[in-house]
Amino acid sequence: MRIEGMSIDQLLELNQYIDELRDQENPQALNQLRVGLKVTFEGREEPVLGIVTNINRKSVIVLTEDGTKQYKV
């Protein structure tokens, strides 16, 4: 079935299912991170290299290596 043919209720159910899948993936990825770990992620314009400074339930705070910017990823 295509999304265009789905009812509002079906779309809402699909959205809830996708949110549940994301919630299952995040803890697995976050378990591998540690404060002080050097990480790279895709920024808006280019890859960003930084250091994990704080780990929240669903996001991580990364400070760039030069200390000029902070990102919530």
Query: Which pLDDT value is given to residue 62?
Result: 94
Q: Are residues 28 and 39 in the same domain?
A: no
Same domain, 70 and 38: yes
Asked whether residue 49 falls in the same domain as residue 59, the answer is: yes
Q: What is the pLDDT of residues 11-44, one digit of tens each?
A: 888 888 777 776 666 666 667 888 999 988 888 8
The verdict on 69 and 39 lying in the same domain is: yes
User: CA-CA distance, 60 to 70, in Å (whole number)?
Assistant: 10
Contact of 55 with 27, CB cutoff 8 Å: no
Q: Do 28 and 42 sit in the same domain of this protein?
A: no
Q: How many domains does the chain have?
A: 2
The predicted structure's pLDDT at residue 25: 63
Give yes or no for a contact between 56 and 47, defined as CB atoms under 8 angstroms apart: no
E strand or H helix that includes residue 57: none
The domain in which residue 18 lies consists of 1-32
